Structure 1
Amino acid sequence: MKASLNEAAALFMKIKPNDLFELSSFQELLYKIAVDDSYPEISRKKILQAARKIEGIIDVYRNSSPETDSAKSDLVNEIGDLIKDAVNVMEKKGTAGTAIYNYISEDADIDMLEAFISESTELISKAEEALILLDTDPENTEAVDSIFRVFHNIKGTSSFFKLSLLSEMAHGAESFLNRIRDRKIRYTPVCSDLILRSVDMFKELFGSVQNAMTENKPFLRPDNYNDLMRVLAKPEKAGLSDIHIKKKSFSKKTVSSGKLRGVPPAKANAEEKKTKASASNENDERTAPKLMEAEASFLQDKEQNKIKQIKAETLPLKDKEQADIRQIRTEPPPCLSDSASSPQPRKRMKAMDRPGTKSFIRIPVRRLDRFVDMVGELVLAHAMIVQDETVTGGKHYELLKKIAGTSKIIRELQHMSMAIRMISLKKTFWKMTRLVTNLAERLGKEVVLVTKGEETEIDRNMAEMIKGPLAYILRGVVNNNIELPDIREKMGKPRCGTLHLSAYHSGSNVVVKIEDDGQGLDRKAILAKAVRKGLIRKIPGQPMSDQEVFNFLFEPEFFADKGIADFSGRDEKADVLKKNIQALRGDIEFESDLGKGSVFKINLPLTLAIIDGMLVRVGREKYVIPLLSIVRSVQPSAKDISTVLHQGEVLCLQEKLVPILRLADLFEIEDAEQDITRAIVIVIEKGKNQAGVLVDELIGSQQIVIKTLGETIQNIPGISGSSIMPDGRVGLILDVRELVRLANMRKYQ
């Protein structure tokens, strides 16, 4: 195996100077590097000197004495300097003087450094948003200035903290943006990809700095750092010479050379050629293939690298800027229509149009979570007081009045604490946009992603947890549902496939919807395979709903055949991702029209902490049903109850048969009411399905603080969580989705 100089430099940092065995092994590694002709001669000479000095350290340790301690330290420092000089000489052509690692300075203020990482992460997010504007309108000078300022700010602050890897990367990216500002380089998709690579590099470096602060260790330079720095410094040598133009040729007619996020290269080229033809710019047309060739050389497979988790929340954009982004993402892309014209330049925002700035303060996430937890405990303590016998007796009217006033304040406080946890889906949608774009390019498909409702807010923790399932579905749609351009053309469809990613509020839920115009899901094929796999006994006489059939796509046995890829074509386990959604008290709905497209809906609750629930009793046990899932409650008469073959007991309600589920049978409660006419049926709903839950008594509604179940009692059918009741006992929260499923599944068994 060939020895690496960078690996040797990293290894030297970990060697203990008093370990003679490690020193001897490291000396052998240096000797191998010293005879490697692939390194510059000066570097090899310095490495040879370092190897010989290691022999000196070994001799000193063999004759160790108090007088030799300073000699040992001097030799170690000299070896480190020689290795560092060798690395710098090796990289002289690209990034001369670039360090291979960075230390967090001992005198650095850790709180200030954490604030810097948090602020820089937000700045990078703003740079990504500005890049959307720039991709749509390459002449948008304000977008260029916005990205330039981000890199400039990072460069200055990282230099203050002596983080040379960050400051040098920021300097390289800033210089590249400056050439675009000065009209020395025309903005093209190639430039967009270089900026995106720089953004990804910053995220990786920020993560390394955070790890270095936690582990108190130096962090190494990323693998692709030098290559990116060389391209940013001299893009001409990397085949980008064709992007150099004169200032006078930079006109509004070059707008089409940019691309909407997700517009495939082939379509972007077609639009670009139309515009260039109208301008009679034959020279630019001849260079277009070269541009695409250069672009292809820089498009790396970023999909395999998971994007680092961003710990700080994004500060809201100014209202006008948000409106601009929404307008861009919801505009029909050029490839959706054969007669679509080149996009018009966006009107620049004037300084007088900008709203006033808002003030913000930074709060550590752990402190925020602690605050929300304490509000939950306050709600619980207040509920205990409200239902105390002293209060419920009704004799202390002044006390009741004061408690009623306190209840209003606590409910308002609870709403405010929930609002603090909410963040928009903008950042998540942006990452999905990049994922679709990169995947479509690799598969040779033309796909555009249109987003809507990215300002919709959900719980911060939930926003992180849905990234995996959302990416899984999008990859599956692009990989399986969207056809190749030639096939779509033969089917009478536009060559460019369209994906719609939207989010909106529906009652107490947030719905994230994915729509496509691809080939859809083959219901018959899925159902036949489900029967073959034993997921159902036989195809029933009563047709299964699309939702029930397509749910088999998330069963682990469905893709158990050797050689059969999962829905997304990747290694993720579909059942695990579905369980992640269910852990959030959410579910996934499917709709499909074979040959025309499909719809996927992820339904999620607004919050994970506090809900309004209906407290019910079954025997001696008490349970909580989420209030917003309850349709109605009835005390049925004998004529309202029927028994249907394969469905059991059903309630005839408004000319509709609702299957009944006895909680006493499900949870094996012996002292529950068995006479259905003396019990109460609570009709619950999830999606388009309903079920009737049989209980003994409705106790009343109250706010419920959700607590997670311990590991020993997880995965109980029909139970999603727990809560502390006002009497101090534990009450179990019913899983409405699972109860509806259990009530409706009997007709298929």
Structure 2
Amino acid sequence: MNTDQYIDIFLDESREHLQAINDNLLELEKDPKNLSIVNDIFRSAHTLKGMSATMGFEDIAALTHKMENVLDQIRNEERSATTAIVDIIFASVEALEVVVSDISNGGDGKKDVTALVSAIEGIEKGQDAVDEQVTQDHTSNSFEFDDYQLEVISQAKGQGYLALSIMVKLRDDCILKGPRAYMVMEKLESLGEVIQTMPSVEEIEDGNFDQAFSVVFVTKVSEKDVQATIENVSEIELVSISEISNVNSVTTEEAIKIEEAPSSSSQSVPSEEKQSQKSKTIRVNLDRIDTLLNLFEEVVIDRSRLQDIANKLNNQDLVSVVENMSRVTLDMQELMLSMRMLPVEQVFNRFPRMIRGLARDLGKEITLKISGKETELDRIVIEEISDPLVHLIRNSVDHGIEIPGVREEVGKSPIGTVELRAYHSGNHVFIEIEDDGAGINREKVGRKAIEKGLLQEEQAKRMTDEEIYQFIFASGFSTADVVSDISGRGVGLDVVKNKIQSLGGSIIVQSEQGKGSKFSIELPLTLSILSALLVQVQRETYAIPLSSIVETVSLSKDDLMFVHGQSVMDFRGKVIPILSLSDIFQVPVESLGTNQNYNVVVVQKGDKLTGLLVDELIGKKEVVLKSLGNFIKDVFGISGATILGDGNVALIVDPNALIQD
């Protein structure tokens, strides 16, 4: 079977199930006796095993199968959810994430998981054997189903499958019970789905049963064919098959109600209301949304042309139709742009497990608090912001939060706190990482900056704390006494700042020594639609993002100064350089004009200001950012292009590239 057409669905669902396992493991560690959490983890692992086996990814299937065995024992209360078990399942999830990532990058999905499989088997074998009475109980034909199994059986029966209870007894002289039982299980799995076994699958395959074992099985094959298939295995004495007609007297509706109802009050919700609460979503490839948006831009261009034609003809009926079309297309455009938005939850979800591992490695106790996971950002920003956040959080954990003993000495709780929050503000999104650790030592940062020649001692005395803290983002800047393999406060933070600025954002640091630090990242809500100022340079039109603009200035020729051959201006008591867009982009000069004043757009990158000299200010406009494509890429000072209402193309200026650090 060719499974290539299903690979995208497999990857999406695999990531969802792995994230669900990850989240539930964190909850299980807090509440190890909560078997409902174990059931949730088991369901995700079971589904992942089935999908990967169908797609032919045997390493994923093998590892999830072993995870199932341990989880099955926990939910059957044969063992408890110890730290060792949680750790090995976490390690398994990490390995599975690597495999899924490899598949998404075009790999074959193969990974050596033998060490993890052996570790899981070691945990299983290290426990006490199940006593004889339990084993005897398992060999009986009385099954107890959990909610998930009830639902699977009920749905299978509703779709025309047979739900069978099968008892297989081996001959008394059968020596290799385990291999014979394994052969039976293999035959059954080729015909349908094994829902439950007594005793467990592991015990059956190890031969840890008397002479008989039982299986609950769903299939579309007839009872007669199933029996004939099993009897083809040698040393089988008896095969007893019966159809399951009443699953512990629990109906499908009751099973679903048990699983979904958070409280007794919700059980009285009418069926019509429950139906309306169901999720109505479909999976759509993001490339299709981008293609749809590109096609819609053609509609916008034609709409602008229709408006011009309607105004020229002065036909009121046509004008009315075009005005209505404008309103509808504007709503459509906003809707399609919102389809590009994704919640930051996709990035935030990776951090609880990361902090758990870092805290254990460093001997610290840390609580992560997350808020605003539902805050949405453009998918491009979501993809790019992950690594900077990882680095900032690792710094907070490594050099921000103190070890428990030190915290207690200064009157703090031994458990440190890292807060990760996101929220909207205007046309921007703020992401904040705040810790209650030792904070940043202003004097130490200042001394290091002076040593590296980044500022003078007199300047340092006049600068605010926030201005001093910005030096930790300088290339190669570090105040760490010991640079660990986890982080070094400042090492690599220049990359963090550059990445954030490349997204049109900025980062501010606030800190109080002994109290903690807060890194605030400001990002544009979307990169696909920008608020821009349209400017004219000779006959060319350019768009400058408003997020980078501080002010526009009308500058007389007498106020234009030169320092070492560089054009500069006095902007609110500060001398800033002036760059001519005509010179930068080599726009042919057709006319010098008679205007005695210059139009200057003052743009900002961090604490750096630069004036951009243009011929005319046209006005503000919402523009859609379009890539220049593979044939025209890496153009200095240009981040993309947009199509204007008259059909002309305007290049979008990248102020970050023009401002010199």
- What's the TM-score once normalised by structure 1's chain length? 0.59
Q: For residue 579 of structure 1, what is the aligned residue in structure 2?
A: 498
2:374 counterpart of 1:458: no
Q: Distance in 2 between matches of 1:479 and 1:218?
A: 33
Distance 2:654 2:373 in 1: 29
Question: Unaligned regions of 5+ residues in structure 2, if any?
Answer: 130-260
CA contact under 8 A between 1:619 and 1:673: conserved in structure 2? no
Task: State the alpha-carbon separation in 2 of the partners of residues 693 and 420 from structure 1.
Answer: 35
Contact between 2:92 and 2:116, CA under 8 Å: does it hold in 1?
no
Other-structure match for 1:342: none
2:257 alignment partner in structure 1? none
Which residues of 2 match residues 113-512 of structure 1 at below 5 A? 113-161=7-55, 163-207=57-101, 214=106, 219-222=110-113, 224-231=115-122, 233-234=124-125, 236=127, 356-379=277-300, 381-382=301-302, 385=305, 390=309, 395=314, 398-512=317-431
- What is the distance in 2 between the residues matched to 1:183 and 1:152? 18
Structure number with greater CO (CA < 8 Å, separation at least 6) is: 1
Q: Aligned partners of 2:648, 2:479: CA distance in 1, in Å?
A: 44
Closer, same or farther: CA 547–618 of 1 in aligned 2, 3 Å: farther
CA contact (8 A) 1:659 1:691 kept: no
For 2:80, what is the secondary structure of its paired residue? Answer: coil
Distance 1:428 1:528, change over 3 A: same
Q: Which residue of 2 aligns with 1:592?
A: 511
User: What amino acid does structure 2 have at the position aligned with 1:185?
Assistant: R
CA contact (8 A) 1:631 1:684 kept: yes
* Alpha-carbon separation, structure 2, partners of 1:680 and 1:527: 38
* 1:533–1:557 Cα contact (<8 Å) kept: no
Q: Whole-Å Cα distance in 2 between the matches of residues 620 and 479 of structure 1?
A: 55
Moved more, 628-637 or 480-489: 628-637
- What is the CA distance between 1:598 and its match in structure 2? 1.1
Counterparts of 1:527-606 in structure 2 under 5 Å?
527-536=446-455, 539-540=458-459, 543-558=462-477, 568-569=487-488, 573-606=492-525
Please give the per-residue CA displacement for 1:654-689, whole angstroms capped at 9, x wherever unaligned.
Answer: xxx68776453895687678978x555667778899
Answer whether contact 1:704 1:723 (CA < 8 A) is retained.
yes
> Contact (CA 8 Å) 1:133, 1:140: kept in 2 or not?
no
Q: State the percentage of identical aligned residues.
A: 32
Whole-angstrom CA distance in 1 between matches of 2:74 and 2:342 = 33
* Deviation at residue 361 of structure 1 after TM alignment: 2.0
SS of the equivalent of 1:154 reads helix
Contact 1:660/1:691 (<8 A) preserved: yes
**Residues 171 and 184 of structure 1: CA distance in aligned 2, closer, same or farther (over 3 Å):** same
Amino acid at match of 2:291: R
Secondary structure at the aligned position of 1:466 is classed as helix
Q: Quote how far apart the aligned CAs of 1:465 are.
A: 1.5
How many Å separate the matches in 1 of 2:289 and 2:115?
A: 37
- The alignment partner of 1:525 has SS state of helix
Alignment CA distance shift 1:228-1:135 (3 Å)? same
Distance in 2, matches of 1:560 and 1:486, equals 23
Corresponding residue of 2:536: 617
CA distance in 2 between counterparts of 1:709 and 1:554 reads 31
Change (3 A) 1:191 1:356: farther
The separation in 2 between residues aligned to 1:450 and 1:736, in whole angstroms, is 35
The whole-number CA distance in structure 2 between the counterparts of 1:407 and 1:542 is 57
Q: Which amino acid aligns with 1:664?
A: S
Q: Check the 8 A contact 1:672/1:696 in 2, yes or no.
A: no
Per-residue CA deviations over 1:293-347 (Å, capped at 9, x if unaligned) read xxxxxxxxxxxxxxxxxxxxxxxxxxxxxxx9xxxxxxxxxxxxxxxxxxxxx98
The superposition leaves residues 454-495 of structure 1 with CA deviations (integer Å, 9 ceiling, x where unpaired) of 111212232222111111111112222222222222222222
CA 1:503–1:391: 2 relative to 1, 3 Å? same
CA distance in 2, matches of 1:715, 1:686: 19
CA distance in 1, matches of 2:485, 2:426: 33
**Alignment-mate amino acid for residue 451 of structure 1:** I
Q: Secondary structure at the match of 1:461?
A: helix
Matching residue of 1:40:
none
Alpha-carbon distance in 2 for matches of 1:585, 1:360: 32
The separation in 2 between residues aligned to 1:150 and 1:531, in whole angstroms, is 55
Q: CA offsets per residue over residues 148-192 of structure 1, 9 Å max, x none?
A: 211222333444455543333333222222222222333344333
Q: Distance in 1 between matches of 2:515 and 2:21?
A: 37
Shift of 1:585: 1.6
Describe the shift of the 1:602–1:223 C-alpha distance in structure 2 as closer, same or farther (beyond 3 A).
Answer: farther
Distance 1:659 1:192, change over 3 A: farther
Q: Which amino acid aligns with 1:368?
A: I
Deviations 1:670-712 (A, max 9, x none): 7678978x55566777889988766543323333121346798
Once the two structures are superposed, residues 6-53 of structure 1 have per-residue CA deviations (whole angstroms, 9 ceiling, x without a partner) of xxxxxxxxxxxxxxxxxxxxxxxxxxxxxxxxxxxxxxxxxxxxxxxx
| Contact 2:344–2:377, Cα closer than 8 Å, also in 1 | yes
Q: How many residues align?
A: 518
The amino acid across from 1:112 in the alignment is: Y
Distance in 1 separating the partners of 2:469 and 2:628 = 29
Which residue number corresponds to residue 175 of structure 2? Answer: none
1:139 deviates by: 4.1
Q: What letter matches 2:116 in structure 1?
A: Y
Distance 1:472 1:534, change over 3 A: same
Q: CA-to-partner distance for each residue in 1:84-124, whole Å, 9 max, x for gaps? A: xxxxxxxxxxxxxxxxxxxxxxx243323543343232222
Q: 1:432 Cα deviation (Å)?
A: 1.5
Q: Measured at CA, do residues 141 and 674 of structure 1 come closer, stay the same or move farther in structure 2, by a change above 3 Å? A: farther
Partner of 1:25: none
Structure 1: where are the runs of 5+ without partners? Answer: 1-106, 239-323, 325-345
Residues 439, 516 of structure 2: 8 Å contact kept: yes
Q: Is contact 2:344-2:382 (8 Å) kept?
A: yes
Displacement after TM superposition at 1:198 (Å): 3.0
CA shift, 1:407, in A, is 2.6
Q: Deviations over 1:608-655 (max 9, x none)?
A: 21223221234544332334666776768999x999x99964566xxx
Aligned to 1:112: 6
Local SS of the residue matching 2:641? strand
Query: Matched residue of 2:459: which SS?
Result: coil
Which runs of structure 2 are paired with 1:715-726 in the superposition (5 Å)?
Answer: 716=636, 720-726=639-645
After alignment, is 520-529 or 414-423 more displaced?
Answer: 520-529
Which residue in the other structure is 1:259 paired with? Answer: none
Distance in 2 between the 1:392 and 1:685 partners?
40
Secondary structure of the residue aligned to 1:558 is: coil
RMSD: 4.5
1:172–1:233 CA contact under 8 A, matched in 2:
no
